[in-house]
Structure 1
Amino acid sequence: MIIIIQQFAAIFIGSMLIGLGINGFLVPHHLLDGGIVGIALILHYYFNVQTGLCMIVLSIPLCLSAWFLNRNYFFSSFHGLMVSSFFIDWLSPLQTQFPLPILVSSILGGAINGIGFGIMLRYETSTAGTDLLAQILSKTFSVNIGVIIFLIDGLVAVIGFQALGFKSFFFSCLTIITVGIVTSMIVRNDHRSFYF
């Protein structure tokens, strides 16, 4: 019972931080996070669709894969996906609340997102998407989950280069590096983690 309460708290707190990081610091400068979130942000920038809703749609194939590969991953990630998607869309009014320079926004947004992702991963939940893929790969190959997320996120930034231009690409890379470092530090310091 205590584990379920801790996991729920991690989903709630982590999702709220991710919603804050994306809306308060990334979206105002058209910056990307990586993975499914990054792809959802690209779709948001070009088609003005809700980022959280895009995350749900884009994560369906990975959730279905988890259902067949490891149902524990599915159940722990599905709740995280729904709650984080809700907070990302619900906190969208924050997009005009923090008029900071792009350098500060990219680092601060990356750190806040990294804390949010790290808290969720530390308690064996995630936002599904590429976090779910990273969980499976980390368990299979005994590689730090933050490193895997960093590599996937970097790939998304490269894909987004054409769409965003050099300035957004450069600062998005800085954001992604910050997310990867912070996430890795939080997950690595958890001695209870099953990922190592």
Structure 2
Amino acid sequence: MKNEIRRSIIADYMIVTIGSLITALALDMFLIPNKVIAGGVSGLATIVYYLANFPVGVQMLIYNVVLFILAFILLGVRFGVKSIYSAVTLSIFVDFFNYVLKVPIPDLSSDKLLAPIYGGLIAGVGMGMVFWRGASTGGTDIIAMILNRFFGISSGMGLLYTDSLITLFAVLVLGPVPALYGILAIVVTGKVIDTFLEGVEHSRTLLIISEKVEDIKKRILEDLERGATLLPAKGAYTGRDRTLLMTAVKRRDLTRLRKHVLEIDPKAFVIILPNAEVYGEGFKELKG
């Protein structure tokens, strides 16, 4: 089990690193050089970059400090550590690609509308990978995750709300055109994030029989913030009355739940079933 946990952690950080790299490429190749103010600390950093020529990556680290503190307080230490790692790698990648590798910048002078579209698409994939592993690229991504955790607002929509405010502020500094392109990039990024997460976050149903079912239930309710159902059951071989715990979780929470069960009762009997779809609180909204 320790090896499984270690592999899960390594996978988390590998995917977060790749996601940060992809997001940095979107910024350096499409958004920053075309003055697309796509909200967030990167948008704010882009504004200051064009005003004072201050490196975007360094700025992003500075602006994230307060929001990292919020992540530690509201979203847990592990989330905060992964988010710090993601934001640091993103900031390093942004300045590394720009000042060291000098990545090629596509010439979009004939059709600048492509900059927010392609930049938003690529950034959405990168940020979706980071969100998938329970981290954030920092900045308003953290606010989006807080809105998702406490108010049920999707990560993409939370990002849309918060980043739009920063983009509107850009109107006062760089004029309406960069801000309008930025709003388009924000919409594209938000939609791609939600589409990406819906594609990878398939849910699972767990059936758990344990002598310590109450302790497991408490961990599900308090740590995973998921619901659970207790069903009366009877062992066919022993004839003993038991309690069957049933819960549905997103795939990203599955490893955490397995760790909790192992920690509480290593002898628990656990069945994990794939779900075609799950509707209700914490999952997709049931629509007619």
Tell me if TM exceeds 0.5: yes
Cross-structure match for 1:55: 60
- Which string of whole-angstrom CA distances, capped at 9 and with x for unpartnered residues, describes residues 112-151 of structure 1? 1111100100111111211112112211111211110011
Does 2:86 align with 1:80? yes
Corresponding residue pairs, total: 195
Instruction: Report the Cα distance in structure 1 between the residues aligned to 2:178 and 2:131, rounded to whole angstroms.
Output: 27
Please report the TM-score for the alignment, with normalisation by the length of structure 1: 0.93
Instruction: Report the Cα distance in structure 2 between the residues aligned to 1:3 and 1:37, rounded to whole angstroms.
Output: 29
Cross-structure match for 2:137: 127
Determine what percentage of the aligned residue pairs are the same residue.
Answer: 28
Cross-structure match for 2:34: 29
Instruction: Report the Cα distance in structure 2 between the residues aligned to 1:174 and 1:160, rounded to whole angstroms.
Output: 14
- Which string of whole-angstrom CA distances, capped at 9 and with x for unpartnered residues, describes residues 22-53 of structure 1? 11011221111211111111111211111111
- Structure 2 counterpart of 1:143, which letter? I
DSSP 3-state at the match of 2:136 = coil
Instruction: Report the Cα distance in structure 2 between the residues aligned to 1:27 and 1:6, rounded to whole angstroms.
Output: 30
Candidates 38, 44, 57, aligned match of 1:39: 44
- Which string of whole-angstrom CA distances, capped at 9 and with x for unpartnered residues, describes residues 151-176 of structure 1? 11111110111112122122111111
Asked whether the 8 Å contact 2:36–2:115 carries over to 1, the reply is no
Asked whether the 8 Å contact 2:143–2:162 carries over to 1, the reply is no
Candidates 97, 109, 122, aligned match of 2:105: 97
Candidates 20, 29, 34, aligned match of 2:25: 20
Please give the root-mean-square deviation of Cα atoms over the aligned residues, in Å: 1.5
Asked whether the 8 Å contact 2:71–2:80 carries over to 1, the reply is yes
Please report the TM-score for the alignment, with normalisation by the length of structure 2: 0.64
- Cα shift at 1:193: 4.1
- Which string of whole-angstrom CA distances, capped at 9 and with x for unpartnered residues, describes residues 161-196 of structure 1? 111212212211111111111111112331224575
Instruction: Report the Cα distance in structure 2 between the residues aligned to 1:126 and 1:147, rounded to whole angstroms.
Output: 15
Q: Structure 1 or 2: larger strand share? A: 2
- Cα shift at 1:5: 1.8
Q: Which protein, 1 or 2, shows the higher relative CO under an 8 Å CA cutoff with sep ≥ 6?
A: 1
Instruction: Report the Cα distance in structure 2 between the residues aligned to 1:87 and 1:32, rounded to whole angstroms.
Output: 19
Asked whether the 8 Å contact 1:38–1:156 carries over to 2, the reply is yes
Asked whether the 8 Å contact 2:68–2:84 carries over to 1, the reply is yes
Instruction: Report the Cα distance in structure 2 between the residues aligned to 1:15 and 1:148, rounded to whole angstroms.
Output: 19
Cross-structure match for 1:147: 157
- Structure 2 counterpart of 1:6, which letter? A
